[in-house]
Structure 1
Amino acid sequence: MSQSAVKRLYLMQVGSMPQYQIPIVCYLLQTEDGKNILIDSGLPEIIPEEASDFQNGQDVIEQLASIGLKPDDIHIVISTHYDLDHAGRHAAFTKAHYVVQRAHHAVAASNPRFAATRPQWDQPMERIRLVDGDTELLPGLELIETSGHVPGHQSVLVRLPQTGTILLPIDAVPFGEGFTRDAQDDGSPDAAAIRASTVKLLDLAEREQIGWVIFGHDEAQWAGLNKLPEYYE
């Protein structure tokens, strides 16, 4: 297996859904050759009225500034999907290339679900890298296609030199209680796809002997994690 190019993982909570006690999060990876890779960008600066359940905290730009990074220092934005709480600040990173599943980008323009964030994710195509399915972005950094929550959703696998392998399911499995082979019926019309992606990630975790899965909306787990400026390496 090739040596990991990733040396550091930062976790950021940038907002919340207070009434549900759900954190809104994003992540920063730093590589051995000095690249800064953002995974999602959190909530928009101004939250639309129809999304009043969300509440901003210290946004991603402020948090990056606290460790000396400006938006122009971000080289890549891994866009897991274009929901409001994951793509709300994409447009701030004007020097970055965006990496998104082709299937997700293809349906986003015609789906009203992503209309509020379109000014953020609808970037010039020369700055968007469309990927098809599971993709090794760098040694030690893999994108895992996990449709269900939305078409073309992607999760992220990170191999760190000391901590080991970490799986970030993002919204494929937002809460730890859902990471199970037991059938879950939440009434979603995409329940079969959600189930298939959950099983895919469970199989991956077993095959790779992944010791740590971080569930981005799991308040109980998130409370015990190191957040920026602390990091995992």
Structure 2
Amino acid sequence: MNQTTVKTLFLMQVGSMPEYRIPIVCYLVQTTDGRNILIDTGLPEHLPEEASDFQNGEDVTQHLARIGLTPDDIDTVISTHYDIDHAGRHATFPRARFVVQRAHHQDAATNPRFAPLRAQWDQPADRLHLVDGDTTLVPGVDLIETSGHVPGHQSVLVRLPQTGPVLLTVDAVPFGGGFSTDPPEGSAPDGERSRASTLKLLDLAEREQATLVIFGHDQSQWATLKQLPDAYH
């Protein structure tokens, strides 16, 4: 029996915060045994009043259609966290299981920050896969617990056959200027847990010899990256 390995990583911009020139992004990992693993789902179709700073673009389903995929083709959604720009279309994927840190899902149940999007992330228990801490999801896809931005946030390490290890920091390190043991003031999230997560990712990137570190909302970096339909292999 052939072992599952990762073969492709697609990057998709699905929206923005125009005032701050911040991209809203999702990722798709494809494996050699035909799995389609989506990482985050972007903004909701109808933005609530409190999200007026955001702007939808080509949504995640439109991006997927460009490479011949429908929502039914997504078997797994890695939910890094339930903020409105990351979990806005979870319910669009009726056959997916949702992989999230247990600590985050439990916090969201009573945290008003996530209440406006509850219809998206509050999926049936049999479709939730709650994980505790760093976890290998499939060979070549590791979930990295990086609390700080929110409790139970997770980043993702993807090992590609040609590109090598790619670290998706997501909101643990949203901008490249903060990826340092001593970041300039204002360039990194505040708080002891955020700093601990940054140091953890720095150590991971060095240990794994990551060839690419992709920051969650860095417009300058995003403009230099391959985006769907181009891909990293």
1:175-190 residue pairs with structure 2 within 5 A?
175-182=175-182, 186=186
Provide the residue aligned with 2:26 in structure 1. 26
Distance 2:188 2:88 in 1: 24
Distance 1:209 1:18, change over 3 A: same
> In the aligned structure 2, how far is the partner of 1:186 from the partner of 1:148?
15
Partner of 2:12: 12
Checking the alignment, whether the CA contact within 8 Å between 2:11 and 2:28 is kept in structure 1 is: yes
**1:220 match:** 220
Deviation per residue, 1:120-162 (Å, 9 max, x gap): 0000010000000000011111000000000000000000000
Secondary structure of the equivalent of 1:151?
coil
Asked if the contact 1:4/1:160 (under 8 Å) is kept, the reply is no
SS at match of 1:201: helix
Aligned residue identity for 1:123: Q
The equivalent of 1:136 in structure 2 is 136
Assess, with a 3 A threshold, how the Cα gap between structure 1 residues 188 and 210 changes in structure 2: closer, same or farther. Answer: closer
Q: CA deviation at 1:100?
A: 0.2
* Separation in 2, partners of 1:101, 1:70: 26
Q: Percent identity?
A: 70
Which residue of structure 2 lines up, in the alignment, with residue 232 of structure 1? 232
CA deviation string 1:139-196 (max 9, x = no partner): 1110000000000000000000000000000000000000000056559996100000
> 2:171 is paired with a residue of what secondary structure?
helix
Return closer, same or farther for 1:164/1:188 CA change in 2, 3 Å cut-off: closer
Matches within 5 A, 1:111-126: 111-126=111-126
Shift of residue 216 of structure 1? 2.2
> Aligned AA for 2:168?
L
User: 1:80/1:189 Cα in 2 relative to 1: closer, same or farther (>3 Å)?
Assistant: closer
Q: 1:188 to 1:26 in 2, by over 3 A?
A: closer
Runs of 4 or more off by more than 2 Å in structure 1?
183-190
CA distance in structure 2 between the aligned counterparts of 1:37 and 1:188, rounded to whole angstroms: 28
**Would the alpha carbon gap of residues 189 and 166 (structure 1) be closer, same or farther in structure 2, given more than 3 Å must change?**
closer
Closer, same or farther in 2 for the Cα pair 1:59/1:190, shift >3 Å? Answer: same
Structure 2 equivalent of residue 99 of structure 1: 99
Provide structure 1 residue ranges, at least 5 long, that are not aligned to the other structure. none
Give TM-score, length-normalised by structure 1. 0.96
The one-letter code sitting in structure 1 at the alignment partner of 2:119 is P
Between the aligned partners of 2:61 and 2:189, the Cα distance in structure 1 is 35
Which SS does the other structure have where 2:23 is aligned? strand
Gaps of 5+ in 2: none
2:38 alignment partner, SS class: strand
- Give the match for residue 66 of structure 2: 66
Cα drift, residue 211 of structure 1 = 1.7
Residues 189 and 195 in structure 2, CA contact (< 8 A), matched pair in contact too = no
Q: Report the Cα distance in structure 2 between the residues aligned to 1:118 and 1:219, rounded to whole angstroms.
A: 28
Q: For the residues of structure 2 that align with 1:110 and 1:188, how far apart are their CA atoms? A: 27
**Distance across 2 between alignment mates of 1:219 and 1:18:** 11
Deviations 1:51-95 (A, max 9, x none): 100000000011111111110100000000000000000000010
State the TM-score, normalizing by the size of structure 2.
Answer: 0.96
Work out whether 1:48 is the aligned partner of 2:48: yes
